[in-house]
Structure 1
């Protein structure tokens, strides 16, 4: 299983448009990007691939990264930076199955799968495939399981993808605060590679109107505001899940330039063979 990180940034990406902060300037100097989130997972046994989340930067990502167009997709939640790239299915695919959770979200009165079907009903190529959380489903010869996480006010899901023949496992935290339910953690546990949402370092919580939450034993906040993990929270989650390797994703350009490109913060284009 080959994992390619197509997009490793938050909703504005790094460099951010019309931003001259030190971090965006350093990204330009290094020639690196963190576009909006998306992950390409190829099953080397079958030659098929699945795309996790459809970034608005879909076109740019597939023009600049050496990956094939996916045979299927999985959507974790309906925020713009994870879904709106699905419009690129027009003229690129004959058909595309898109898997998403079937739970009704009280905030929207529909499930993620319902939103995919409604929003892209004009695309005959797209077929929304509702899935029950915690129930594994087969996609491209791999086994995938969506699990609820904590990203108020919307329902959002983490994801485990396993190769049933080799045992290789990829886990994605999804967009989430540190307060991931225990049952979800059980599904995500023990990955060869964990991709964990780490929007900013914990030191920036003092600048958030709501501060930070889910403090560790050292008093450091593991959640920034209410929706995303801090770097420290994501690393604690990696320890909790006994991840063999961890890459921090969905990071914002608010990281100080001196910290923004340090390990284990990911940048676009990284590949991992599991």
Structure 2
């Protein structure tokens, strides 16, 4: 299993267009980027590739990283920075099963699968395929399991991607607060590599209108507002799940420059062989 981090940023990415903050300047000086979130998982045995979330930066990401176009796609939720790259299927992909959860979202009245089916019905290459959370399905020769996480007001899912031949496993927290259900954590636990959502450090919670939540024993918020983990929350989740290795993703440019490039914070183009 070869995992390539195509996009490791939040909804605006880093550097953010038109932004001259110290973090964006430092990213430009370092020559690194955090484009909108997307992960490429290649199966060397089947020579097929699973794309987890279709970033709006799809074209840019595939031009700048040596990865084959996806054979199948998994979409975790319907926010545009995880979904709107599906439009790139036009003339690039001939047939792409798009796996998405079949649970009805009380907020939208339709499942992630149904939203994709409605929004992209004009693309013959996009083949929406409903999947039931906690029920493993096969994609690109991998066993994939969607698990509910906590990203209000919409339903959102993390995922476990396992190679049934080698036992290698990749866990993705999805966009989530620290309030991930225990059943979902049990599925993600023990993975070889965890990609954990962590948007800003905990000390920035004072600037969020809703503050921070899910404080640890020292009072450090592990959730920023309601939708995303803090950096400390991502680290705490990795420790709790007892994973082999972890990387913090979905990082924003609001992280102060002297904290934004710490060793466990991912940048685009990182590659891991599991």
TM-score normalised by the shorter chain: which range applies? Answer: over 0.9
1:207 and 1:109 mapped to 2: Cα distance? 32
Aligned to 1:121: 121
Deviation (angstroms), 1:146: 0.2
Does residue 100 (structure 1) correspond to residue 135 (structure 2)? The answer is no
TM-score, normalised relative to structure 2? 1.00
Whole-Å Cα distance in 2 between the matches of residues 263 and 30 of structure 1? 14
Matched ranges for 1:30-69 at <5 A: 30-69=30-69
C-alpha separation in 1, matches of 2:211 and 2:143? 38
* Secondary structure of 1:215's aligned partner: coil
RMSD: 0.4
Aligned to 1:17: 17
Q: How much has 1:94 moved relative to structure 2?
A: 1.1
Q: Which runs of 4+ in 1 moved over 3 A?
A: none
Counterpart-to-counterpart distance in 1, 2:29 and 2:94: 40
* Counterpart Cα distance in 2 of 1:133 and 1:46: 25
> What CA deviation, in whole Å up to 9, does each residue of 1:178-221 have, x standing for no partner?
00000000111101000000000001001111100000011100
Cα offset, 1:153, TM superposition: 0.2
Q: Deviations over 1:215-253 (max 9, x none)?
A: 001110000000000000110100110011010000000
Instruction: Name 1:146's counterpart in structure 2.
Output: 146
What is the aligned partner in structure 2 of residue 81 from structure 1? 81
Question: What is the CA-CA distance between 1:111 and the residue it aligns to?
Answer: 0.2
Deviation of 1:93 after TM superposition, in Å, equals: 1.1
Residue correspondences, number: 274
1:162 matched residue in structure 2: 162
- The alpha-carbon deviation at position 45 of structure 1 amounts to 1.1
Counterpart Cα distance in 1 of 2:117 and 2:144: 20
Match of 1:205 in 2: 205
d(CA) in 2 for partners of 1:173 and 1:57? 21
Unpaired stretches in structure 1, ≥5 consecutive residues: none
- Aligned counterparts of 1:220 and 1:52: Cα–Cα separation in 2: 30
- The alpha-carbon deviation at position 80 of structure 1 amounts to 0.4
Q: Secondary structure at the match of 1:240?
A: helix
Distance 1:82 1:2 in 2: 21
Question: Which residue of structure 1 lines up, in the alignment, with residue 184 of structure 2?
Answer: 184
Structure 2 CA distance for aligned equivalents of residues 93 and 164 of structure 1? 26
Matched, 1:236 2:232: no
1:46, distance to aligned residue in structure 2 (A)? 1.1
CA distance in 2 between counterparts of 1:238 and 1:94 reads 37
Matches of 1:166 and 1:208 in 2, distance apart? 43
Structure 2, unpaired ranges of 5+: none
TM-score (ref. length: structure 1): 1.00
Query: Structure 2: how far apart are the matches of 1:270 and 1:11?
Result: 19
Distance 1:88 1:157 in 2: 23
